Structure 1
Amino acid sequence: MNVEQELHPPRQFLDSHRQAAAAGSSDFLTPGMRMIVASWMVEVAEEFRLQQETLHLAAGLLDRFLSSTQDVPRCVLQLLAVACLMLAAKDLERQDLLRMERIVLDVLEFRLSSPSSYTFLHLLAQACSQCVTPTLLSLAMYVTELAVLEYDMHQYTHSCRASAALLLAQLTVGAAQHLPHVAAVVAALGIPAEELSGCMACLLALQRAAYQHTLAAAAAAQGSGSGLSCEVGDLLAPLRTKYGHACWCDVSGVAPVAALPPAQVWAIY
């Protein structure tokens, strides 16, 4: 009982977040936001068949953390929930986790480090640092992350996805005079123009599907005419919400471009 009383979060602990936000300029967390992330934790626990005790421990860790600090940006709340689930699972389901880790390592032959779309995107952004704005980079990261969800995107390499995402973002929110420089940097990777153009078209279709969901608000977007392998409107909603925050420049609300240039354009650089 003493341990319970010692570790139990104080009542109305989110009030301290509101008070801290009032003293500064940051947003504060609300009970509604906590309910959303807690509901998501329930879904994750169900999906991965975690023990009931693991879910309850994870929720307790979340509340204890939120009651101990007021410096929690909204955009990292889901990441915090993931960390709490992982800690709870490691505490209560350690043997299951270790067994699955060994299976994964054996299948992958212990080769864990490999360049991702994120890796290439940041290398490209550094090479174009003079013309890549926070909004442009956020939009490129958004469409790159959308590609993670779509199975058909595996036909393109990570370097191609990152290049296509940066060019698509440049066409959408970038300054026109910077396009040649960005395209020239991308061309250094040696990706065929047709492949690059096809990847951009797929990313644009994903962005449009997510944007349709934004416009439809509560109604589920059907993704009609997108050519995707599934109806992705609802599945893209979490990413749309994540990149709708100010820390990501609200890029999920940016309207997609009407059309893409022909593939021959990228062959001249």
Structure 2
Amino acid sequence: MDLFESLPPEVSEIIFRGTHIRDLLSLRSVNSFFRNFVDSNSSLWTNTSLRDCWPCNKNLAHFSKAANNGNREALIKTGIAYLYNEGCRFEEDRVKANGQHAAKSFFRVEGLQMTSEPFTWLFIRPPWSTTAPCCKKAVMNCMQEIVKRPKMQFPFVHLSIFKTLQLLEDSSQEELIFHLEKAISQGVVIAEFYKWQLEYENTAGDSGRQIASVRVLRDIVTRGCWQAEMALWKAYLKGHRGLYTEQQALTAIRSWVQRSKARCSQVYTDREYTHSMRYILIDWLVEVAHMKSFESKTLHMAISLLDRFLRVRRPTRAKLQLVGVASLVLASRFLGQDIITIREAAWLTDSTYKYEEVVRMMGEITSTLGGQFRVPMTLDFIEVIGLAASNDRRTQCLSEYLCEVVELHSELGSFSQAMIAASCVLLAKLHQPRSDLNRIPWGSRLVEVTGFSADHLKDCVTAIHEKCFGSKAIVDHRNVELKAVKVRFRDARFCGVADIQIVSSEELLRVFERDLPSADCDTSSDLSDYDDDSNDEESVTCLDLIASPSRGRLGPRSAKFVPDRSSAGTPMRLLPEEEDSGGSWEDDSGYDNEPHSLPVQVGQNADSVECEAIRLPQKVRVPLLNISNLSQINVGHKRKSRDVIGNQLKTRITSVSNYQRH
């Protein structure tokens, strides 16, 4: 204890930064010293983890304290809980009060916004109820009142109001411009792009406006806005380059393409998650998207949310479908005019999950990703490269079809998004009418745009062909082949490209041999990295089943998944395992008793890191304080409790010091 008291405050904060709220409260209950330390240190509450916790009457005071200290996870979850009346129970006549509480939380979290776009608007967006008091409308009205107050500097709140007003038919152009100008005046770059969309997106036939449009886009791109980059590259490829030469334009696009990163496929390589589980889940999401007639971007965004969430969090198998359907709900609200309601989402899972479970998972995904929903996807690269290739409608649909088939296979995630997109375009061009199979349809212009030659793409193209069209299809528990992507792209709006006969692997290799005589065309060793463990038809067990009204169920939900409680938490990759402290699912404090040994920082970039522990060097292992049972130590054993925590603190301080030296 004396050792801890002698530590500088900065070191104490490092030791307990990201501690789970349950562990923080256990530390607080040890003695008066730790109680004062926890209560007086606001940074502990700002950075505490609320993973797998939801606001309720038992823990609302703790959530409120964390929210008042700027904890983004607490603000997001509290706002959603008040909005949907989930967790914090109120009378029906408290709709206005709930709306005010939700608006306050959303207002503050948008004030802490560090991402490029607002996100709270998708929770309050129309449609609104016309037959009963609507909390979403109450939140919108409250936010509009707040921004009218003088000296309020929350530009992302103006953008949330702008995005919501865009979906209302009676909104005026002047009102939209007003909120955009407010955000622009406070330096928000994405607001300038929104204004560009209103003023310059349709400039066909007006060369003067086209030049002005490109000039504005370039100015926005220089300040860091990837959405503006996408629009600028499309304008370049359509011939609207302003004063730039074609070579300058292509060089800029090539630099953007080469910055593309590989998708992470390591999530599905352990015993908890397998590639076949993800395949079945994505196939089911495609089926739902086809039923709702969603655009391809909505589906790809849902898959992106799913994969990025699973890089940081490790839910049990029983919750995989819940994560998938919640991701699709968020994606449809973010991109589409037609949305999936929360009750409809629960029904789509054949009532495997309840309304409140979908709401809570939406909050978990939002808080884990820090509200960063939209990021560049493979489909975005397909659009740009397709413009460079001058693809017709049929070839472009075939490229999107191939891209969607690739999304089923997480094993192909070792290739960058741009390389997968370029490979899909190359394969699609091979199937154009009157295509010459003696030459690879990848001209010098495409090489200039992408930076990939045909030789660079050979491994990726052959791997995609082998995995997607050379292996036997996965079947479900009914021994039925999963082919939702084929059914979706047989639709007339996709030109029925799923019925096109794909060239055989022999023909594909023959094309590369003819056009690349000096290259080693024996790709058997390369393709072995993408083969399954068995060439037999891959079947699934009840643990892999996705429940839906069309696919049926095997039985009660409790009988589907019985995961071991000791393996339900996040696996420790570089940290020593801790023993389960036991206890019931929920105690009187409103938190579960499962140890949360690996804290996840809210807003952590899921594209660049899987978990906080991976940032440490491989030889450094920082033991976490095992304070799960400290709250149960009685007063007569204070000396013993001090010795326990003192020894653990010494070990932790030594490890932190070694890490800083590294």
Q: Calculate the TM-score normalised by the size of structure 2.
A: 0.23
- Kindly indicate whether the alpha-carbon contact (under 8 Å) linking 1:135 and 1:251 is maintained by their aligned counterparts in 2: yes
Shift in Å, 1:189: 2.0
Shift in Å, 1:204: 1.9
- Kindly indicate whether the alpha-carbon contact (under 8 Å) linking 2:343 and 2:355 is maintained by their aligned counterparts in 1: no
Spell out the pairing of 1:139-150 with structure 2 (5 A cutoff): 139-150=398-409
Spell out the pairing of 1:211-226 with structure 2 (5 A cutoff): 223-224=471-472
Name which of 482, 485, 506 aligns with 1:239: 485
- Name 2:395's counterpart in structure 1: 136
- Kindly indicate whether the alpha-carbon contact (under 8 Å) linking 2:419 and 2:460 is maintained by their aligned counterparts in 1: yes
- Kindly indicate whether the alpha-carbon contact (under 8 Å) linking 1:139 and 1:169 is maintained by their aligned counterparts in 2: yes
The answer as to 2:473 corresponding to 1:184 is: no
- Kindly indicate whether the alpha-carbon contact (under 8 Å) linking 1:146 and 1:236 is maintained by their aligned counterparts in 2: no
Q: 1:234 to 1:154 in 2, by over 3 A?
A: farther
| 1:133 partner letter | D
Q: 1:241 to 1:133 in 2, by over 3 A?
A: same
| 1:99 partner letter | R
| 1:242 partner letter | R
The answer as to 2:512 corresponding to 1:262 is: yes
| 2:491 partner letter | H
Name which of 359, 375, 379 aligns with 1:114: 375
| 1:169 partner letter | A
Cα-to-partner distance string for 1:34-65 (whole Å, 9 max, x where unaligned): xx98xx89xxxx98469xxxxxxxxxxxxxxx
Consecutive unaligned residues in structure 1, runs of 5 or more? 1-35, 51-79, 210-222
Question: SS where residue 111 of structure 1 aligns?
Answer: coil
Spell out the pairing of 1:29-108 with structure 2 (5 A cutoff): 48=321, 83-84=339-340, 86=342, 88-89=344-345, 95-108=356-369
Aligned residue pair count: 178
| 1:125 partner letter | G
- Name 1:161's counterpart in structure 2: 420
- Name 1:201's counterpart in structure 2: 462
- Kindly indicate whether the alpha-carbon contact (under 8 Å) linking 1:127 and 1:185 is maintained by their aligned counterparts in 2: yes
Q: Distance in 1 between matches of 2:489 and 2:514?
A: 32
Q: Distance in 2 between matches of 1:107 and 1:153?
A: 25
Larger radius of gyration: 2
| 1:114 partner letter | V
- Name 2:495's counterpart in structure 1: 249
Question: SS where residue 203 of structure 1 aligns?
Answer: helix
- Kindly indicate whether the alpha-carbon contact (under 8 Å) linking 2:429 and 2:441 is maintained by their aligned counterparts in 1: no
More helix by share: 1
Shift in Å, 1:253: 1.4
- Name 2:329's counterpart in structure 1: none
- Name 1:61's counterpart in structure 2: none
> For structure 1, which segment, 98-107 or 248-257, has the greater mean C-alpha deviation from structure 2 after superposition?
98-107
Q: 1:89 to 1:139 in 2, by over 3 A?
A: closer
- Kindly indicate whether the alpha-carbon contact (under 8 Å) linking 2:342 and 2:358 is maintained by their aligned counterparts in 1: no
Cα-to-partner distance string for 1:1-41 (whole Å, 9 max, x where unaligned): xxxxxxxxxxxxxxxxxxxxxxxxxxxxxxxxxxx98xx89
Question: SS where residue 256 of structure 1 aligns?
Answer: coil
Shift in Å, 1:109: 3.7
Cα-to-partner distance string for 1:88-131 (whole Å, 9 max, x where unaligned): 348995543342223223333433221111101111122233xx
| 2:400 partner letter | M
Shift in Å, 1:239: 1.1
Q: Distance in 1 between matches of 2:368 and 2:384?
A: 29
* CA RMSD in angstroms, aligned pairs only: 4.3
Q: Distance in 2 between matches of 1:105 and 1:85?
A: 17
Q: Distance in 2 between matches of 1:247 and 1:112?
A: 27
- Kindly indicate whether the alpha-carbon contact (under 8 Å) linking 2:490 and 2:498 is maintained by their aligned counterparts in 1: yes
Q: Distance in 1 between matches of 2:514 and 2:449?
A: 16
- Kindly indicate whether the alpha-carbon contact (under 8 Å) linking 2:381 and 2:418 is maintained by their aligned counterparts in 1: yes
| 1:121 partner letter | I
| 2:512 partner letter | P
| 1:189 partner letter | T
Cα-to-partner distance string for 1:54-92 (whole Å, 9 max, x where unaligned): xxxxxxxxxxxxxxxxxxxxxxxxxx9x94564534899
Q: Distance in 1 between matches of 2:374 and 2:322?
A: 28
Q: Distance in 2 between matches of 1:166 and 1:89?
A: 34
| 2:344 partner letter | A
Name which of 383, 388, 393 aligns with 1:127: 388
- Kindly indicate whether the alpha-carbon contact (under 8 Å) linking 1:194 and 1:263 is maintained by their aligned counterparts in 2: no
Cα-to-partner distance string for 1:114-159 (whole Å, 9 max, x where unaligned): 1111101111122233xx1222111111110001111111111111
| 1:197 partner letter | K
Question: SS where residue 161 of structure 1 aligns?
Answer: helix
- Kindly indicate whether the alpha-carbon contact (under 8 Å) linking 2:430 and 2:441 is maintained by their aligned counterparts in 1: no
> For structure 1, which segment, 158-167 or 243-252, has the greater mean C-alpha deviation from structure 2 after superposition?
243-252
Q: 1:87 to 1:162 in 2, by over 3 A?
A: farther
Q: 1:133 to 1:207 in 2, by over 3 A?
A: farther
- Name 1:28's counterpart in structure 2: none
Question: SS where residue 371 of structure 2 aligns?
Answer: coil
- Name 1:67's counterpart in structure 2: none
- Kindly indicate whether the alpha-carbon contact (under 8 Å) linking 2:394 and 2:495 is maintained by their aligned counterparts in 1: yes
Q: 1:234 to 1:167 in 2, by over 3 A?
A: farther
| 1:199 partner letter | C
Q: 1:146 to 1:183 in 2, by over 3 A?
A: farther
Shift in Å, 1:161: 1.1
Q: 1:104 to 1:256 in 2, by over 3 A?
A: same
Question: SS where residue 372 of structure 2 aligns?
Answer: coil
Question: SS where residue 512 of structure 2 aligns?
Answer: coil
